[in-house]
């Protein structure tokens, strides 16, 4: 009869424990990879933030939802008329007072004068040089201003010069202002 030495038994246990540990770590890594929950960027306060790819996706989805909400709640926009068919207001005026890019967003705001009633602000950013998809926003005016409105820069499909055409609709007329920005 052979007596097993404690040395061989210890080696066997170490090999088995190492194999089990390797399988568990491999499984967790595969799970994290396929659920795209890894790697996280950690902020200085210890919280986790989504990766830049995930943040861009979140920003775009939020912008689409905001756009749908504002278009559904804008009674001053007659969808059956093109912008060329809506007469220019003889009294109301709109002026773009701020247009800049910072912190991953393009921000604009405008003032409205002589409108006398509430209205709707419709903004269209266009880039004809690159035949890029326009970026649009429609919001209800708040008193004598439109905005500020912040648009994630990921919605701008090209870098370069973009023209903001802002239309303020009140009653059955419109006021128009334009301004350009270099999106980087």
pLDDT in tens, 14-41: 888 889 989 998 888 887 777 766 555 4
- Kindly state the average pLDDT of the residues 150-169: 92
Is it the case that residue 43 has pLDDT exceeding 60? no
Residue 68's pLDDT band (boundaries 50, 70, 90)? low
Q: Quick one: CA dihedral 24, 28, 29, 33, positive or negative?
A: positive
**CA dist., res. 57 & res. 150, Å (int):** 16
Rounded mean pLDDT, 35-59: 61
Query: Which CATH number is correct for 74-183, 2.102.10.10, 3.40.50.720, 2.60.40.10, 3.40.50.2000?
Result: 2.60.40.10
Q: Residue 169: exposed, middle, or buried by beta-carbon count in 10 A (0-12, 13-18, 19+)?
A: buried
Q: What are phi and psi of 69, to 5 degrees?
A: -65, -45
Judge whether 170 and 113 are in contact, CB under 8 Å.
no
State the average pLDDT over residues 153-166: 92
> For residue 141, what are the CA distances in angstroms to 65, 95, 116, 135?
19, 13, 12, 19
The β-bridge partners of 145 are: 111, 142
Q: Which H helix or E strand runs over 69?
A: helix 52-72
Phi-psi region of 36 (alpha: psi -120 to 50; beta: other; left: phi over 0): left
pTM score, two decimals?
0.58
Look at residue 72 in the predicted model and tell me its pLDDT.
Answer: 45
Tokens (6 digits) for 131: 């035949």
* Residue pointed to by tokens 């980087």: 184
The per-residue pLDDT for range 99-128, each reduced to its tens digit, is: 999 999 999 999 999 877 788 999 999 987
Q: How confident is the model at residue 142 (pLDDT cuts 50, 70, 90)?
A: confident
């Amino acid at each position: 009869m052979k007596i097993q030495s404690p040395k061989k038994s210890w080696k066997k246990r170490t090999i088995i424990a190492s194999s089990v540990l390797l399988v568990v770590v491999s499984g967790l890594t595969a799970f994290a990879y396929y659920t795209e929950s890894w790697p996280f960027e950690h902020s200085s306060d210890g919280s986790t933030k989504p990766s830049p790819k995930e943040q861009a996706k979140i920003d775009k989805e939020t912008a689409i939802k905001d756009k749908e909400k504002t278009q559904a709640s804008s009674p001053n926009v007659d969808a059956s008329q093109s912008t060329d068919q809506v007469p220019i207001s003889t009294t109301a005026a709109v002026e773009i007072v701020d247009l800049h890019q910072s912190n991953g967003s393009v921000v604009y705001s405008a003032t409205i004068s002589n409108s006398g009633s509430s209205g709707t602000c419709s903004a269209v950013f266009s880039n004809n040089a690159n035949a890029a998809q326009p970026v649009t926003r429609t919001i209800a005016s708040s008193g004598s201003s439109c905005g500020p409105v912040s648009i994630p820069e990921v919605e701008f499909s090209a870098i370069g010069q973009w023209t903001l055409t802002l239309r303020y609709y009140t009653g059955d007329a419109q006021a128009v202002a334009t301004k350009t920005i270099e999106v980087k």
